[in-house]
Amino acid sequence: MLRRTVLASMAASLAAPALADTYPSKPINLIVPFAAGGPTDLMARIVGERMAKELGQQFIIDNTTGAAGSIAVGKAARAAPDGYTVQIGHVGTNVANGTIYKNLTYDLLTDLVPIARLPQNPMLIVSSNQLPAKTLKELVAYLKANPDKVPGGTAGMGSGSHLGALAFFAATGVTYQLVPYRGTGPAMQDLMANQIQVMVDQSSNSLPQVQAGKVRAYGITAKARSAAAPDIPTAAEGGFPMEVSIWHGLWAPKGTPADIVARLNKAAIASLQDPAIRKRLEELGQDIPTPAEMAPPAFASFQKEEYARWKKILEAANVKVE
Ligand code: MLT
């Protein structure tokens, strides 16, 4: 009996190709938690386009916005775990929201499986060109003279630009109004039009507009200046030390087969090892993780550490959405 069973299972494994051998056999849905034209959408398109070449199938971008990405992550968590739904997100959507939103319908750390860590970027403290301040000290003085009156952009409670704003408030002791958008792509349009006047935004979104002279930068939220923006001083040089960077990642619904996760991870690594992709990302101020840091187990540990770190920060600041 045992011999026949062993032979039968051998025959079956020889006959049916491993799942990943035929995967992907159709386009893959890539859920993006913010509006088109913002930093997460940009990351999805830059990295996704090169991943598609590696996989031989296109990604279909699905910008699902709302609640700083919580709607999108819920959609990903409920998707079929067949490898045809992938979610891009960041420290806000897949870490901070787990502390901030009290009624999430999913568990961020167990209902999604990490596929690969993606690049991270520091943030720029930026304003519309019409604001009278020319230095970070002058910006802080202006905000102090107009407490909670200056409209500032975020992509909702828990978004990267909200975490950036919280870090700015803690470092400077001043605040601005948090005007929520469906992403910092649309928020940047309003900043350039002076509809809002200040924002702490990922360098990948704000640096091109600073370089085009369309908005003003006061500082970068990093230990050192960025090679992509050597003229922008650090917040510390401006008198207000603050460090916050927004890392991105890819996830799939729990239950997605490990060999499919491995296949997607391999394509993500190939994408970030491509010199043209690396150049494009570095020009936007992005720091690219190593293949070892991108491995699913390493990324899962990193996400858990970040979850604990941000939980402490956000609970201490009593940031929550009931
Ligand atoms: C975006 O892509 O719009 C940003 O990631 C929003 C944010 O997190 O600030």
Domain boundary among 219, 245, 271: 245
The residue contributing the CA closest to ligand 1 atom 3 is: 183
Q: Counting atoms of ligand 1 from 1, which one is nearest the CA of 162?
A: 9
**What does each C-alpha distance from 277 to 21, 58, 296, 299 come to in angstroms?**
26, 17, 21, 21
How confident is the model at residue 21, as a pLDDT?
Answer: 73
Is 159 a pocket residue for ligand 1 (Cβ < 6 Å)? yes
Identify the bridge partners of residue 125 per DSSP, sorted by sequence position. 200, 219
Asked if residue 159 lies in contact with residue 90, where contact means CB atoms within 8 angstroms, the answer is no
Instruction: Determine the distance from the C-alpha atom of residue 227 to the mean position of all C-alpha atoms in its chain, rounded to a whole number.
Output: 21
Q: Which of 186, 183, 162, 278 is nearest to 228 (CA)?
A: 278
In a domain, 16, yes or no: no
- Residue 18 and residue 59: Cα distance in Å, rounded? 22
Q: Do 109 and 257 sit in the same domain of this protein?
A: yes
Place of tokens 């928020």: 187
Residue 63 in contact with ligand 1 by CB distance below 6 A: no
| Residue 256 domain-assigned (yes or no) | yes
Residues 82 and 221 in one domain: no
Q: Output the DSSP codes for 236-291.
A: TTTT-----EEEEEEEEETT--HHHHHHHHHHHHHHHH-HHHHHHHHHTTPBPPPH
The verdict on 112 and 257 lying in the same domain is: yes
Query: Cα separation of 178 and 149, whole Å?
Result: 10
User: Do 226 and 141 have their domain in common?
Assistant: yes
What is the SS3 assignment for 51? helix
The domain spanning residue 222 has which CATH number? 3.40.190.10
In a domain, residue 228? The reply is yes
What does the pLDDT read at residue 7? Answer: 64
Of all protein residues, the one whose alpha carbon is nearest to atom 2 of ligand 1 is 40
Query: Which residues lie across from 152 on neighbouring strands?
Result: 178, 198
- Pocket mutation for ligand 1, best pick of 32, 43, 161 (most atoms within 8 Å of C-beta): 161
Same domain, 132 and 233: yes
Three-state secondary structure along 71-130?
HHHHHHHHCCCCCCEEEEEECHHHHHHHHHECCCCCCCCCCEEEEEEEEEEEEEEEEECC
Give ∠ CA 235-70-103 in degrees, rounded to 5.
115
Residue 149 sits in the same domain as residue 283? no
Based on the domain organization, do 215 and 255 belong to the same domain? no
Answer yes or no: is the C-beta of 183 below 6 A from any ligand 1 atom: yes
The minimum-distance atom of ligand 1 relative to the CA of 185 is: 3
pLDDT tens for the 322 residues of the chain, in order: 556 666 666 665 555 556 667 899 999 999 999 999 999 999 999 999 999 999 999 999 999 999 999 999 999 999 999 999 999 999 999 999 999 999 999 999 999 999 999 999 999 999 999 999 999 999 999 999 999 899 999 999 999 999 999 999 999 999 999 999 999 999 999 999 999 999 999 999 999 999 999 999 999 999 999 999 999 999 999 999 999 999 999 999 999 999 999 999 999 999 999 999 999 999 999 999 999 999 999 999 999 999 999 999 999 999 988 7
- With a 6 A CB cut-off, is 184 part of the ligand 1 pocket? yes
Establish if 4 belongs to a structural domain.
Answer: no
How many domains are there within the chain? 2
- The tokens for 290 are 């190593």
Structural domain containing residue 95: 26-120+246-316
190 and 169 co-located in one domain? yes
pTM of the model: 0.92
217 with 127, same domain: the answer is yes
